[in-house]
Chains A and B, each alone.
Chain A
Amino acid sequence: MKAITKRFPGVVALDRVDLELYEGEILGLIGENGAGKSTLMRILGGDYPPDGGTISISGEPVRIRDVRHAISLGISVIYQELNLAGNLDIASNIFLGREPRRGPFGIVDRRRLYSRAKELADRVGISSPPTTLVQELSPGEQQLVEVAKALSMDARILVLDEPTSSLSLAEVRKLFEVMRSLQKQNVSMIYISHRLAEVQEICDRVVVLRDGLRAGALERAGGPGLDREEMVRMMVGREISRFFPGHGERGESEILLSVRRFRPSGGKADISFDLHAGEVLGVAGLVGSGRTELVRSLFGIEPPEHGEITVMGKTSHVRGASDAIRLGMGFVPEDRQRLGVILEMAVAENISLPSIGTYRPPFLDRKRELRDAARMVEALDIKTPSLAQQVQFLSGGNQQKVALGKWLALDPRILILDEPTRGIDVGSKSEIYKLVRKLADRGVGVIMVSSELEEIIGLADRVLVMHEGRCAGILDSDQISEQNIMLLATGAGGPTT
């Protein structure tokens, strides 16, 4: 792939990126969220065309038209979300849509289907018989079914996008074994992962992307080798823009929330931390590291496995969102359109939903509802033609302000934000940053989960970094840097000051 460029409305996702892959090589492709890894692989897999650049296979330039064409060229991409039909068996999944047929009516040749599936399954080391339903397999074996499917299409180039994110340690070992044996059969592989230790172990070479550019490459055999710190340095290493309102002055302020030996629902380890009045506590970590699970459990959406939280000196058990709200907490969830707001309801009805129970229950105080909603629309500068407008007709940024406003109307002491700026425009982003800082200055304790390191560094006073369901460390303000966060988030080591 040479000088691949891809633009999306408003951003350049890839800027003249070169990528070379040798026969029988395992190439690591790393970079932060949004660096362009997935876009590059989607272009290779025929998901969308590049805006510029050329792709050559074995020296021959090709124009990949679509996924089918990519497959016929021997390219198979296995995405993070597996494309398997759980209610079908292994063999049917491997040959889905390409079942061997016989006779004039094209009846599926079941004998050939299962014998060929068996061969492929043996090749990638699936021990279950090919008649097993895919939903009964472990995530690791499902991954191997995808690999078998790719092999059944005679793949010469295999792309694995975060294949190990849901695998157990033993399953990772198994996958690596399979990858090594495929390597001996001269299959080339591109391995995308955030887990630098695994990249270091399995890859021959590593290409690093940053902000849509090729930031560099490392070879096992040359220079510093596949050094993890070097990889992290290449992945980050950019200036933080002056986009953020700065940090607060935190003296010895009161502890609002104290979390002890708290294990989120489905979590792997206990987490303990404090939240002070007037501070923004960032929660960083890779996708799937357990950040959302932590805040969902704190807010009582999923009850924790065990552990306690103390809010302003009072130890409480939060069994549901209504308990959390009574303790003075508010929560803006990650999935705005599905959980943050009710799209088909009016702006006023959305803003008042958490508070109507506090007005004059059991009666509905419409006057106060409208007054509160109008206050929020003004304070947050929500652009809406009226309070009765359905939220679905607002822009993403204004929808997010509604999702925020419904908590601000309650005057929370603790506000939890999960990816508060995902998918909204730059202007609204900066407004939300200012608002978060203003709230903190007023003494609200803010917990902000974010995948954008820039946002964490620009806004957070302290950062809790998650790694594989554990709290990998809490960084104080003088320790916060992209490098330190990435070191903790990838499990590569502790912070360096």
Chain B
Amino acid sequence: MTLLLAGLVAAICAYQAASFGEVAFFRPENLSNVAQRVGILGIYAIGAGITIICGGIDLSIGSIIGFVGVVMAMTVGAFGMNPWLVALGCVILCAGLGFWHGFLIGRFNLQPFVVTLCTLLLLRGLARGLSGGISQKLDGFSTLGNGSFLHVPIPFWILIAIALIVGFFMNFTIYGRYLYAIGRNAEAARYSGVRVNRVRTGAYVTCAVLSGIAGVVSISYTGEVQPASAGLMFEMWAIAAAVLGGCSLRGGEGSVLGIIIGAALIKVMYNGINLIGISTEWEWAVIGVVILGGVVADAAYRRRAAGKAKE
């Protein structure tokens, strides 16, 4: 996958060098722009990745981002509340939502797909209902999304911080190991004494919290939120990034670094399509084909690796 990313960047550069005689991709403002977007996508893609690794899925990401945006804009804009406090409140609310998902999935043995699909619908409806469907503005809270530190956009720093924390959990604590075990075979993990429901709930809490953080960064970045479209389809981009980054929807596979590379791939592709001059209407078609190609190549590679391990 890293190879694919490098290849993609190289292809974009080569094309540009050939046709325009200069490489727009490496212009500082372009790089910073890409990093900013990779940062936001990366944050919630890690969330999605964790639920996928433990054998589940979370479809509510996009709606959480939209909902958080609406709540932030409305409370801060209309009542003049402190945006940082509201942001904190939103993230805590998201944690509660994650607990709720984990509870329903563990206690009632519901399918994660269905549970989070309902949240997707519920929160989108709430966002539109509460705002009356009218676009909401949030002024004076743009640093988080648009500022930069040491010439690197703040969203990217946030991504790095989150990746380090989550990566540490996944690799250096027993919970990471439990998560992979549950993703591979939840019943066998239970027979080995793993508290499956608790660990799995942790994954959904993490995903919801990261979505909430992404929502805060997102509204700060745009400064305005369209209740009907903010965050729409974001869960699909998150899943695509996770899968591109090596997560298997069968569970038990994937890594934080892989997910970030997957997120980078998607945003670089977007950027490349723009730079090359393909009209934006074609974006999805191009990305769809590239993702499919990447996944097929990955499957073929694994098949060969598995064949070798057998010998």
Contact = CB atoms under 8 A, between A and B. Distances in A.
B27 interface: no
A349 B309 contact: no
A393 B310 contact: yes
Contact of B177 (A320, A364, A389): A364
Contacts of A357: 174, 193
A390 B305 CA distance: 13
Contacts of B172: 363-364
Given A362-B175, A364-B173, A320 B195 contact: yes
A342 B174 contact: no
B185 A353 contact: no
A345 B180 contact: yes
Interface in B158-197: 171-177, 180-181, 184-185, 187-195
Nearest to A362: B173
B184 A321 contact: no
A362 B177 CA distance: 11
A353 B199 CA distance: 14
B17 to A, nearest CB: 43
Nearest to A332: B191
A309 B194 CA distance: 22
A321 B191 contact: yes
B245 interface: no
Contact of B184 (A331, A344, A362): A344
A354 B192 contact: yes
Given A333-B191, A363-B174, A342 B184 contact: yes
B112 interface: no
B215 interface: no
Given A361-B174, A364-B176, A338 B188 contact: yes
Nearest to A331: B191
A199 interface: no
A390 B193 contact: no
B69 interface: no
A311 to B, nearest CB: 15
Contacts of A359: 174
Interface residues of B, number: 23
B252 interface: yes
Nearest to B311: A393
Interface in A336-364: 338-345, 349, 353-354, 356-357, 359, 361-364
A324 B191 CA distance: 10
A353 B189 contact: yes
A362 B174 contact: yes
A363 B173 contact: yes
Nearest to A390: B309
B173 A340 contact: no
A406 interface: yes
Contacts of B180: 345
B185 A343 contact: yes
Contact of A340 (B174, B175, B184, B188): B188
Nearest to B187: A339
B205 to A, nearest CB: 16
Interface in A312-339: 320-322, 324-325, 331, 333, 338-339
Interface string A27-46: 00000000000000000000
A321 B195 CA distance: 8
B252 to A, nearest CB: 6
A435 interface: no
A322 B194 contact: yes
Contact of A342 (B176, B181, B193): B181
Contact of A353 (B176, B192, B195, B309): B192
A406 B195 CA distance: 17
Contacts of B176: 364
Contacts of A137: none
Given A362-B175, A390-B309, A393-B310, A353 B187 contact: no
A338 B309 contact: no
Interface string B190-225: 111111000000000000000000000000000000
B215 to A, nearest CB: 28
Contacts of A390: 309
Nearest to A345: B184
A172 interface: no
A364 B192 CA distance: 16
Contacts of A362: 173-175
A359 B177 CA distance: 13
B173 A354 contact: no
A361 B174 CA distance: 7
Contacts of A333: 191
B309 A342 contact: no
Residue from A301, A339, A363 with most neighbouring chain B CB atoms (10 Å): A339
B33 to A, nearest CB: 38
B192 A406 contact: yes
Nearest to A341: B188
B195 A342 contact: no
A353 B194 contact: yes
Nearest to B182: A342
A339 B191 contact: yes
A364 to B, nearest CB: 5
Contacts of A389: 309
Contacts of A342: 181, 184-185, 188-189
A338 B187 CA distance: 8
Given A362-B175, A390-B309, A393-B309, A321 B185 contact: no
B191 A340 contact: yes
Nearest to A369: B177
Contacts of B173: 362-364
Nearest to A323: B193
Nearest to B251: A344
Contact of B191 (A301, A345, A363, A393): A301
B179 to A, nearest CB: 12
A349 B185 CA distance: 13
Contacts of B175: 362
Contact of A354 (B184, B193, B195, B252): B193
A338 B181 contact: no
Max chain B C-beta neighbours (<10 A), residue from A324, A333, A356 = A356
Contacts of B193: 320-322, 324-325, 353-354, 357
Interface string A10-25: 0000000000000000
Interface in A283-315: 301
Contacts of B171: 364
Contacts of A344: 184-185, 252
5 contacts: A301-B191, A322-B195, A342-B181, A345-B180, A345-B184
Interface of A: 301, 320-322, 324-325, 331, 333, 338-345, 349, 353-354, 356-357, 359, 361-364, 389-390, 393, 406
Given A320-B193, A354-B192, A364-B172, 13 more contacts: A301-B190, A301-B191, A322-B193, A338-B188, A339-B191, A343-B185, A349-B177, A353-B181, A353-B189, A353-B193, A356-B177, A362-B174, A364-B177
Which 6 residue pairs across A and B have the least CB separation, nearest first? Answer: A325-B193, A353-B192, A322-B193, A321-B193, A342-B185, A362-B173
Interface of B: 171-177, 180-181, 184-185, 187-195, 252, 309-310
